A = this chain, B = another copy of it.
Amino acid sequence: MQERSAIASSATEDYVKVIYSHTEWQPEPITSSVLAARLGLAPSSVTEMVKKLAAAGLATHVPYGAVTLTSEGRSLALRMLRRHRLIETWLVESFGYGWDEVHDEAEVLEHAVSDRFLEAIAGKLGHPLRDPHGDPIPRADGSVEQPDAVLLADAPDGFSGPVVRISDRDPALLQYLGDQGFALDSVVTVVERRPFGGALAVRLDGAGFDLGDEATRAVWLGAGSS
């Protein structure tokens, strides 16, 4: 019999959360260096910690290869994402935070609130299934509704569809896009791809924008039409 799922440190919680969420909207498995970059840590630190995750039965790791979660690791990750995203939603709904202001606060609170408290806010919010950025909120039983979506950067000319998700990694970008009128469910149409790796021209509510690489790699569009 192995270690009965012991209480994870907040470092452990952050690792599995990042490992899981990396493959949420894209299939590419995560490598040590990407994991290090996302966590803001040195690669050597990550290698060591990943070994500990493996020893704890949360991850598997082929040396020099990708890091994958075990089913136990996945359920811890889903638990943490539920926490993170419910807290973000609650900060927006109940405290008037902007969608560009919630991430850092949630990043800390997700490790601190009790299950009782978390389920209380889930109830107050009516058990929402997506957070302010369109990321799916796993249910308490670990099930998730993952929407089909196309990265705006990959959408063909003429494609049109609702905004399904905007990555919350860069608050400044979120604020910019919010100011421009981008919101979940607003419909975006790809007008034209400027030549030589230039910007992507899109239309939103009748208005036109040129979006750079960073922006088009942060926005996902749902089932639409070409």
When the two chains form the complex, which single residue of B91, B95, B96, B113 contacts A109, counting CB atoms closer than 8 Å?
Answer: B113
Cβ B112 vs Cβ A95 within 8 A:
no
Give the residues in chain B near A120, CB-CB below 8 Å. Answer: 95-96
* A23 interfacial by beta-carbon distance below 8 Å: no
Judged by DSSP, the binding face of A is helix
Cβ A112 vs Cβ B111 within 8 A:
yes
Residues of chain A from 98 to 131 with CB closer than 8 A to chain B in the complex: 105, 108-109, 111-114, 116-117, 120
Q: Smallest CB-CB separation from A116: which chain B residue? A: B105
Q: Smallest CB-CB separation from A114: which chain B residue? A: B105
Give the residues in chain B near A96, CB-CB below 8 Å. Answer: 120
Cβ B117 vs Cβ A95 within 8 A:
yes
Docked CA distance A17–B27 (Å)? 48
Give per-residue flags for A39-51: 1 if the beta carbon is below 8 A from chain B beta carbons, else 0: 0000000000000
Cβ B117 vs Cβ A112 within 8 A:
no
Give the residues in chain B near A113, CB-CB below 8 Å. Answer: 105, 108-109
Give the residues in chain B near A105, CB-CB below 8 Å. Answer: 113-114, 116-117
A112 → B minimal CB distance (Å): 4
Docked CA distance A111–B109 (Å)? 9
Docked CA distance A120–B114 (Å)? 20
Cβ A112 vs Cβ B114 within 8 A:
no
Give the residues in chain B near A114, CB-CB below 8 Å. Answer: 105, 108
A122 → B minimal CB distance (Å): 12
In the A-B complex, the 4 residue pairs with the closest CB atoms: A112-B112, A108-B112, A95-B120, A109-B112
B-binding residues in A (CB < 8 A): 91, 95-96, 105, 108-109, 111-114, 116-117, 120
Residue contacts A-B, CB under 8 angstroms, 16 given? A91-B117, A95-B117, A95-B120, A96-B120, A105-B113, A105-B114, A105-B116, A105-B117, A108-B112, A108-B113, A108-B114, A109-B109, A109-B112, A109-B113, A111-B112, A112-B112
Q: A108-B113, A109-B113 are in contact. List 12 more A-B contacts (CB 8 A).
A: A91-B117, A95-B117, A95-B120, A96-B120, A105-B114, A105-B116, A105-B117, A108-B114, A109-B109, A109-B112, A111-B112, A112-B112
